[in-house]
Amino acid sequence: MQDWLKAREETVLRHVDRLPRVSPSHFRAVVAIPVRDEMERVGACLKALIEQRTLDGKPLPFGTFGIVFLANNCTDATVALAHKRLAGSGTPFLIIDETFPDVFANVGFARGVALEIATRWLERSSHRNGTILTTDADSRVARDWVAKSLCAIDAGCGAVAGRVRLQRDEMMNLTPALRSRGRLENAYEQALLRLQAYIDPIPHDPWPNHWTASGASYGLSVEAYRLIGGLPVITSGEDRALADTLARHDIAIRHDPKLVVTTSARLEGRAAGGVADALRMRSETADMPGDDQLEALPSALQRFVWRARLRHWHSLEALGEREWIAPLGLPESAINWVGLPFGAFWQRIEASSPKLARQALRPSQLRENTRAARRILRALEQAALSRASGSRAGTPVPEPVETCEPAAAQAGL
């Protein structure tokens, strides 16, 4: 880890003095893009950024954001094409062309360097409360991506995650089974998210939302970035690791479904563990389990209920007075975790409790679980209407968390 951080700092220092001077009156964000051999797609990526608009469709004011474009061991014409696209755009930018040794020639290291330079650019421009954004060179952000990201940070969140959709023409080249699987997974995710909103609502991330944590669309404030110590040290999956680290520090993350990025649906990608790898493995093994968040409905409901309870007890500093260690199969030493921020506490619970072990569903199981989830949602909606009517009539309103616990049995699972 120390070698990694030292190499990252040395790389940053080689380039930070090349950062363009900008007017601090408008400069609010920097987009960090790690790139390797994307000459066929980089033009579309940069064009989408150059043509960014405000929420009402007007061009963003000149100099609202800059771009740090980090070419990681490129062997094609990516860098030349990026220069051509950005040179006359009016957007402040820095292109870095590096050939890293094998141990650092990965997307985790490259994104970490790009984010660190982006952060120092904002800090040097007297914007310690600026916003760092990141996307990928095989992706095209929506025309209001920067504006919506800034809006989420301005609303008080420390980070914002966008929704990723696959490029339509490439998606049509995928097998019908793979496309069908994507639709089933999306439907089940939406049902689980709606259930989560009933059982364990999160004020800063209300439904509709999503669970995507992708480097194709992520943003965080400079304050949040410095608080967590920068991007975690990891060769790939750095986007998921970033989200986990933010959550561990109780930094609010908004998962905005209207913040959309279109990314490649190719089966041979540049980064290990990325979208391309996931698509290829799923096409090769039709019924392999998917994302572990798409777990069986009884397990998901149990997770939501326990998280809601523990979140409530944690906020009251009452964890020492309640029964949770034995029911979750935890060691008695778990009591020592109660002083942690809730995000860190909950991650310890999930990692240690056999009762909360995740087991992702196979595609063949998705329809049954989605139907059951929708039955529970209908029941919860009817119960909510009854509670609202009872409240108006002076009848006490029961806590929804308690009514949800036997829901999986009611749904027939």
**What is the tens place of the pLDDT at every residue in 200-226?**
999 999 999 999 999 999 999 999 999
The CA-based dihedral angle spanning residues 144, 146, 148, 152, taken in that order and rounded to the nearest 10 degrees: 180
Alpha carbons 404 and 301: distance in angstroms, whole number: 8
What's the length of the chain?
Answer: 413
As a whole number, the mean pLDDT across the chain is 89
Centroid of chain to Cα 319: 29
Is beta strand 131-134 parallel, antiparallel or unpaired with respect to 93-98?
A: unpaired
3-state SS of 64-121 is CEEEEEEEECCCCCHHHHHHHHHHCCCCCEEEEEECCCHHHCCHHHHHHHHHHHHHHH
Q: What is the pLDDT of residues 318-346, one digit of tens each?
A: 999 999 999 999 999 999 999 999 999 99
DSSP for 195-251, written as a single string: HHHHHS--TTSPSS------TTSEEEEHHHHHHHTSS-S-SS-HHHHHHHHHHHTT-
Return the sign of the alpha-carbon dihedral for residues 359, 364, 365, 371.
Answer: positive
Cβ within 8 Å of residue 194, ≥6 positions away: 207, 377
pLDDT at residue 276 above 70? no
Is the pLDDT higher at 282 or at 244? 244
Residue 181 has pLDDT above 50, yes or no: yes
Q: CA angle 133-169-163, nearest 5°? A: 30
User: What is the value of pTM for the model shown?
Assistant: 0.89
Q: Positive or negative CA dihedral for 250, 148, 273, 11?
A: negative
Rounded-to-integer distance, Cα 71 and Cα 74, Å:
6
Residue 61 CA to residue 55 CA, distance in Å, equals 12
- What pLDDT is attached to residue 149? 97
User: If you ran DSSP here, which 8-state letter would residue 358 be given?
Assistant: -
Residue 273 has pLDDT above 70, yes or no: no
User: Where in the chain are the domains?
Assistant: 2-284, 297-410
C-alpha span between 131 and 113 (Å, rounded): 16
pLDDT tens readout for residues 292-306? 899 999 999 999 999
Among 296, 301, 297, 342, CA closest to 318: 342
pLDDT in tens, 385-405: 888 877 665 544 334 444 444
Kindly report the CA angle at 240 between 236 and 245, in degrees rounded to 5?
115
Q: At the fourth CATH level, which superfamily is domain 2-284?
A: Spore Coat Polysaccharide Biosynthesis Protein SpsA; Chain A (3.90.550.10)
Tokens (6 digits) for 307: 């998280």
- Provide the 10 A C-beta neighbour count for residue 278: 14
Burial category of 140 from C-beta neighbours within 10 Å (exposed 0-12, middle 13-18, buried 19 and up): buried
Residue 392 or 167, more confident = 167
Nearest residue to 218 via CA among 198, 195, 199, 245: 245
Give pLDDT, residue 360: 87
